[in-house]
Amino acid sequence: MGARCNFIFKQSEDLAVALYSHWDEDHMYELLAAALQHAMPRIQMNDIPYATRMAISYIIKDQILEETGFGIEAMDPSNQGFLDHPVTIDFTDMTVGEGEAWHSINDFINYNLVTTVTK
């Protein structure tokens, strides 16, 4: 069992950092929005390595010392066919999305944090 999902932090056209989560699918968008808000100072500075680290740290903060639950790997962002429920944070154009649904990082944060608060 599990609620698997993947957060793909696209660094360039051919390089991304993927964070696999075994348990976060049910609240992945709210969690990602909070993580990106946490990383926003570095996003605004276009300091993508630090922004990526800050977002990943936020997502795993409550289980950081656990042996299981998360995995991190470098990947080609165009090769997502094997991933469970991937969402891409595209730092090349500052968007977040999957499939046909793409939004600016700010719109994604605003929508998903507001939605969480009003639920």
The tens digit of pLDDT for each residue in 24-44 reads: 999 999 999 999 999 999 999
Tokens standing for residue 115 = 């939605």
- Coarse DSSP helix, strand, coil percentages of the chain, rounded to the nearest 5 percent: 40, 30, 30
Average of per-residue pLDDT values in the chain: 93
| Whether the Cβ atoms of residue 28 and residue 34 lie closer than 8 Å to each other | no
The tens digit of pLDDT for each residue in 67-97 reads: 999 999 999 999 988 899 999 999 999 999 9
Span 87-115, average pLDDT: 94
Q: What's the confidence (pLDDT) of residue 82?
A: 83
String of b and e for 46-78 (b: at least 16 CB within 10 Å)?
Answer: eebeebbebbbebbbeeeeeeeeebeeeebebe
Which residues contact residue 54 at a Cβ distance below 8 angstroms, ignoring those fewer than 6 apart?
35, 38, 39, 42
For the chain, the maximum distance between any two Cα atoms, rounded to a whole number of angstroms, is 40
Q: What's the confidence (pLDDT) of residue 1?
A: 62
Regarding beta strands 70-75 and 15-21, do their DSSP bridges make them parallel or antiparallel, or are they unpaired?
Answer: antiparallel
Distances (CA, A) of 76 to 23, 65, 88: 23, 27, 12
pLDDT category, 118, cuts 50, 70, 90? Answer: very low
| Whether the Cβ atoms of residue 24 and residue 5 lie closer than 8 Å to each other | yes
